[in-house]
């Protein structure tokens, strides 16, 4: 007999429907899986057989063929296990097709018959929109973010009992403790750092990538950690996008509901290229740049990252997506992050802030690594001085709270949206002409910077976008004045901080 059961597979962050066809016939006992399964999917055979037998159902010593349709699509992972087992039970008349047909199945099977969670439940559910999803009990909270009608079971026996109507669908135990979203570190803890605080606010408001240079202990990491707290809450569309990516990486804390705050990722420079960019297994998993999408990616010690990593950042920084391919498969993952990076001025880290022990060759080599296109992506490049002791010991009161800055950022972003972009970073030449007209003074200022070679053409355009963000933060309309443009040029670090411009 032939049984057809619905399931789904995930490539990148996209779910694809899969029809699992199980055919049981007379003949030499064997169990074959066809239809482009990857290695872990092929191993389903052994898990399904053991799970069915451990759950005290009958395993027919017959010729069993499982076809995964459409056959042109690669099936990855173990999420089709449950659909195969259900198909097997239907094809051998141990379960009625009437009770299984309107459901879609998505879980890995343990040898003992338990249903185990799988990564990527949220995108997989997109492919099961016409049926009621059945998942492992451990995946149920996640599935219900998207599908409140989803049901789950702890093992195959429990599932069959619920399908037959002998038992109600089990509910997961309540979460142990109310899981709270991690509180973001507050800007009010930061003493001094007037320029860096301003740069963080501009970065958050305009989506401008930020590079900080300074000696160790100057507070670069502490500042970077506070950037994400300045971003507005995620809207529902963004929250779903963030959840899908984190679901595929098994990093979604679904008990807490949809995330409301943007993600913050700070990978170490020893992370592999696959961990950073994504790919790897045949599932084409998201890397750090996709996990940071919608939020902040912090790269500490940017100069220590391998050149191949820095090269690989160029496309995502330009297009806000990353293209991954493996064999014939090609996926596009979101990579729309705000980049904040920190670097020491030289290998010993002291630079012009103290007695540097590096040779000129060492310094030149160090700076060359950061040169070129990646450096060009930072609209804001600031030096971070070690905090002035008097400001640390000063009045004891920090600066403004993150929430106050966040409301200015939200207002500035609303002005950008009125221009048809989500942040001013996305404005290019023509749009800048339209939305960021220059006053006569500002025009003269940029001309003289260009004539003296202190700004490139591109640098001048980027400074104009930053000046527009400064005006948005101040709530000012009309042509950009010279003061604001000068402020934007100095935040760009050309040439006030020559150590950043090799
Ligand atoms: Zn040095």
Residues within 5 Å of ion ligand 1, judged at the Cβ atom: 346, 348, 356, 358
Is residue 496's pLDDT more than 50? no
Q: What is the pLDDT of residues 263-291, one digit of tens each?
A: 999 999 999 999 999 887 667 889 999 99
Residue 415: how many other CB atoms lie within 10 Å: 18
Q: What is the pLDDT of residues 376-388, one digit of tens each?
A: 889 999 999 887 6
**pLDDT at res. 385:** 85
Q: C-alpha 80: how far from its chain's center?
A: 26
Pairwise CA distance, residues 404 & 381, whole Å: 24
CA–centroid distance, 357 to ligand 1, in Å, is 5
Q: What is the pLDDT of residues 428-470, one digit of tens each?
A: 888 999 999 999 999 999 999 999 888 888 889 999 999 999 9
Per-residue confidence band for 226, with pLDDT thresholds at 50, 70 and 90: very high
CA–centroid distance, 354 to ligand 1, in Å, is 9
Main-chain dihedrals φ then ψ at residue 317, nearest 5 degrees: -65, -30
**pLDDT at res. 360:** 87
CA–centroid distance, 359 to ligand 1, in Å, is 8
CA–centroid distance, 358 to ligand 1, in Å, is 4
Virtual torsion, Cα 363, 364, 369, 373, nearest 10 deg: 130
CA–centroid distance, 353 to ligand 1, in Å, is 9
Pairwise CA distance, residues 284 & 287, whole Å: 9
CA–centroid distance, 365 to ligand 1, in Å, is 12
**pLDDT at res. 390:** 65
Average pLDDT (81-90) is: 96
Q: Kindly give, in sequence order, each residue whose CB lies less than 8 Å from that of residue 136, ignoring residues fewer than 6 positions away.
A: 107, 108, 114, 115, 116, 117, 118, 152, 153, 154
Do the Cβ atoms of 111 and 49 come closer than 8 Å? no
Tell me the chain's radius of gyration from C-alpha atoms: 28
CA–centroid distance, 216 to ligand 1, in Å, is 11
Is residue 51's pLDDT more than 90? yes
pTM of the model: 0.89
Is residue 358's pLDDT more than 90? no
Give the DSSP H or E segment for 322: strand 321-326
**pLDDT at res. 498:** 39
Q: Kindly give, in sequence order, each residue whose CB lies less than 8 Å from that of residue 466, ignoring residues fewer than 6 positions away.
A: 202, 206, 208, 379, 380, 424, 488, 491, 492
Report how many helices (DSSP H) and strands (DSSP E) the chain contains, helices first: 22, 18
Q: Which of 10, 88, 6, 11 is nearest to 47 (CA)?
A: 88
CA–centroid distance, 356 to ligand 1, in Å, is 4
**Residue written as token pair 């006053």:** 439
**Residue written as token pair 């559910």:** 125
**pLDDT at res. 493:** 80
CA–centroid distance, 225 to ligand 1, in Å, is 25
Is residue 121's pLDDT more than 90? yes
Q: How many residues does the chain have?
A: 502
Main-chain dihedrals φ then ψ at residue 463, nearest 5 degrees: -60, -35
CA–centroid distance, 196 to ligand 1, in Å, is 22
CA–centroid distance, 350 to ligand 1, in Å, is 5
Beta bridge partners of 312: none
Q: Which of 14, 186, 43 is nearest to 108 (CA)?
A: 43
Per-residue confidence band for 318, with pLDDT thresholds at 50, 70 and 90: confident
Pairwise CA distance, residues 87 & 56, whole Å: 16
């Amino acid at each position: 007999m032939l049984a057809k059961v619905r399931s789904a597979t995930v490539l990148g962050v996209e779910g694809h429907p899969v029809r699992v066809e199980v055919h049981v016939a007379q003949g030499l006992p064997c169990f074959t899986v066809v239809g482009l399964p990857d290695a872990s999917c092929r191993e389903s055979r052994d898990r399904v057989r053991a799970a069915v037998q451990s759950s005290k159902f009958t395993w027919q010593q017959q010729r069993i063929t499982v076809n995964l349709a459409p056959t042109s699509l690669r099936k990855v992972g173990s999420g089709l296990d449950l659909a195969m087992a259900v198909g097997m039970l239907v094809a051998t008349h141990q379960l009625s097709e009437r009770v299984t047909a309107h459901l879609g199945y998505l879980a890995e099977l343990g040898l003992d018959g338990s249903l185990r969670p799988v990564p990527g439940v949220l995108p997989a559910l997109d492919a099961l929109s016409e049926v009621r999803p059945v998942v492992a009990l451990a995946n149920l909270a996640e599935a219900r973010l998207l599908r409140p009608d989803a049901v789950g079971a702890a093992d195959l026996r429990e599932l069959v009992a619920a399908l037959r109507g002998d038992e109600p669908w089990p509910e997961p135990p309540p979460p142990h403790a109310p899981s709270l979203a991690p509180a973001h570190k507050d800007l009010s803890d930061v003493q001094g750092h007037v320029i860096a605080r301003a740069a963080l606010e501009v970065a958050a408001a305009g989506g401008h990538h930020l590079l900080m240079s300074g000696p160790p202990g100057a507070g670069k990491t502490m500042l970077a950690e506070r950037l994400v707290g300045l971003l507005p809450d995620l809207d529902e569309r963004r929250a779903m996008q963030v959840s899908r990516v984190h679901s595929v990486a098994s990093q979604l804390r679904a008990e807490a509901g949809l995330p409301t705050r943007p993600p913050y990722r700070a990978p170490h420079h020893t992370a592999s290229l696959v961990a950073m960019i994504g790919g790897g297994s045949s599932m084409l998993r998201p890397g750090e740049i996709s996990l940071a999408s919608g939020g902040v990616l912090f790269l500490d010690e940017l100069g220590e990252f391998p050149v191949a990593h820095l090269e690989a950042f160029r496309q995502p920084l330009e297009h806000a997506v990353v293209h991954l391919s493996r064999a014939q498969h090609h996926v596009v993952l979101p990579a729309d992050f705000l980049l904040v990076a920190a670097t020491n001025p030289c290998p010993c880290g002291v630079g012009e802030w103290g007695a540097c022990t590096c040779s000129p060759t060492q310094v030149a080599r160090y700076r060359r690594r950061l040169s070129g296109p990646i450096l060009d992506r930072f609209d804001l490049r600031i030096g971070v001085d070690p905090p002035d002791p008097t400001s640390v010991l000063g009045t004891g009161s920090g600066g403004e709270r993150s929430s106050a800055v966040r409301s200015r950022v939200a207002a500035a972003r609303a002005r950008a949206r009125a221009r048809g972009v989500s942040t001013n970073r996305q404005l290019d030449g023509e749009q800048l002409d339209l939305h960021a007209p220059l006053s006569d003074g500002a025009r003269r200022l940029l001309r003289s910077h260009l004539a003296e070679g202190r700004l490139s053409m591109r640098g001048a355009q980027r400074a104009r976008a930053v000046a527009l963000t400064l005006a948005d933060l101040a709530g000012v309309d009309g042509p950009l004045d010279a003061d604001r443009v000068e402020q934007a040029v100095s935040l760009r670090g050309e040439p006030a901080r020559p150590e950043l411009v090799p």
